[in-house]
Amino acid sequence: MLKLLRNGTSASNSSPSNPARPISANQANFVPNEQAGVQNYFATGSRAILLGTAIINISHLGTNFKARALIDSGSEATFITERLFNLIRLPFQVVQAQVSGLNQTVAAQSKKLCSFTIRSPTRPALQLETTAYVLPQLAGNLPSYPIPQNFLRDLPDFPLADPKFYESAQIDVLIGADILPSVLLSGAKTNICGSLLGQETIFGWVLTGPVSASAQSRISSFSTQISHAYDNSLDKLLTKFWEVEDIPTKLVKESDSMCEKNFLQTTTRSECGKYVVTLPFRDPEHIGSGLGHSRSFALAQFLRNEQRLKRDEALKARYDSVIQEYLDLKHMRQVLPTHDCNAYYMPHHAVLKPESVTTKLRVVFNASSPSSNGTSLNDILHAGPVLQSDLTIQILKWRYFRYVFNADIEKMYRQIWVDPRH
């Protein structure tokens, strides 16, 4: 983010405090080129501008983290500080993104893109999933100047997004224009305390604008910075190598976290040692309430499948053998005809793979078949995360071992039972 020095002048004075030391030829490839310098800066300004801030909750894996956010409609993306990113331990993807400011100048570079959920402290039911680029620092403490107490006397009584907007504090999140339409509401008030604009958001009212139009010119900042720079090309090359070789962390979605939570809380073991799991319904309190009648649709599919099997006796024999195996292994049982709308009938059909070595015929049960109201079983369930490892990552892991075994578990998914209540 660029900080504007209003109606001011700036000057810099840079001079090396120590000249560069000569190095021998055998050191040239190993010793970085060092240079020290002293820089003085000052800036003057005549007006103090208040930027909009809000207190938000960042939700990750069921835990809320309080953070102070800057509302910036001039930013194309959302950003988060590396301090908060490390505190929450957010999953991330490795990226190469340049952050540019005025005149297309590159202000910073981000190498991480993380995902999280933003919640409103005043409206817990509202949630906003977003991605954010990670930067070491977003801005200095805001506001960067003291707010006069007499200026706050005329403040109206309404819920503020940042109740202590007048206290200088660190900014950990920058909310950009990518999610701003989901943050802003229709309410707006002008001439608050004489010069501020109030904008209603899901977090409360955000105040922006000039604090005082009659402030006299004064020196707003004066600093001396001693910099010690060196050529760290070797460090950058090594860091780049590590990033290329590193296995990226998967982004964990909120729905995937809910599936994992459901698995940890409801999974049990039967008397024979088998795992018993429950289905990850989107609305656990109203299981199956969104489904219509499905028996007639499944029966129609069954009759079409029977007509197909009659035309191929060999296929019918193999199909009957698979279904009989389901019954023999007690992976399936016969039920009485019922019109209970809470029951979902899954149609099934044959999928042939003649080139397969192990399973040439597979019976597929279609849980995406719609019921009478257009809703299927898959529509009311969480899809869940991808459980299989990426092939590239798997091969990279194999490098750590001398011998690697690859085997197929027969009827793996059918070894896990579904809760009888479902």
* pLDDT tens readout for residues 334-356: 887 665 556 888 999 988 887 77
Preceding amide of 337 cis, omega within 30: no
Q: Are residues 223 and 263 in the same domain?
A: no
> Exposure of 161 by Cβ count < 10 A (0-12 exposed, 13-18 middle, 19+ buried)?
buried
Of 88-92, 232-236, 358-362, where does mean pLDDT reach its minimum?
A: 232-236
Does residue 148 belong to any structural domain of this protein?
yes
Q: Are residues 334 and 196 in the same domain?
A: no
Count CB-CB contacts under 10 A for residue 413. Answer: 6
Q: Are residues 367 and 280 in the same domain?
A: yes
Short-list 8, 41, 33, CA closest to 225: 41
What is the span of the domain harbouring residue 188?
41-230
Does residue 7 belong to any structural domain of this protein?
no
> Exposure of 5 by Cβ count < 10 A (0-12 exposed, 13-18 middle, 19+ buried)?
middle
Of 28-42, 110-124, 353-367, where does mean pLDDT reach its minimum?
A: 28-42
Q: 261-293: per-residue pLDDT in tens? A: 888 999 999 888 889 999 888 887 666 667 888
Instruction: Read off the pLDDT band of 235 (50, 70, 90).
Output: low
Does residue 238 belong to any structural domain of this protein?
no
Q: 141-177: per-residue pLDDT in tens? A: 888 777 777 777 777 788 888 988 888 888 999 998 8
Which DSSP string do the residues of 17-31 spell out, in sequence order?
Answer: SSPPPP--GGGTTTS
On whether the CB atoms of residues 34 and 17 are closer than 8 A, the answer is no
Q: Indicate which CATH number applies to the domain containing 121.
A: 2.40.70.10
pLDDT at 34 over 60: no
Does residue 28 belong to any structural domain of this protein?
no
Question: Rounded mean pLDDT of 118-146?
Answer: 85
pLDDT at 55 over 90: yes
Q: Are residues 224 and 263 in the same domain?
A: no
Give the H or E element holding residue 370: none
Does residue 4 belong to any structural domain of this protein?
no
Does residue 32 belong to any structural domain of this protein?
no
On whether the CB atoms of residues 31 and 23 are closer than 8 A, the answer is yes
Phi first, then psi: what are they for 367, rounded to 5°?
-85, 0
Q: Are residues 84 and 188 in the same domain?
A: yes
Q: 303-323: per-residue pLDDT in tens? A: 999 999 999 898 999 999 999
Q: 380-406: per-residue pLDDT in tens? A: 888 888 777 778 878 888 888 889 888
Q: Are residues 143 and 206 in the same domain?
A: yes
Q: Are residues 117 and 186 in the same domain?
A: yes
Does residue 14 belong to any structural domain of this protein?
no
Does residue 88 belong to any structural domain of this protein?
yes
The strand pair at 13-16 and 275-277 is best described as unpaired
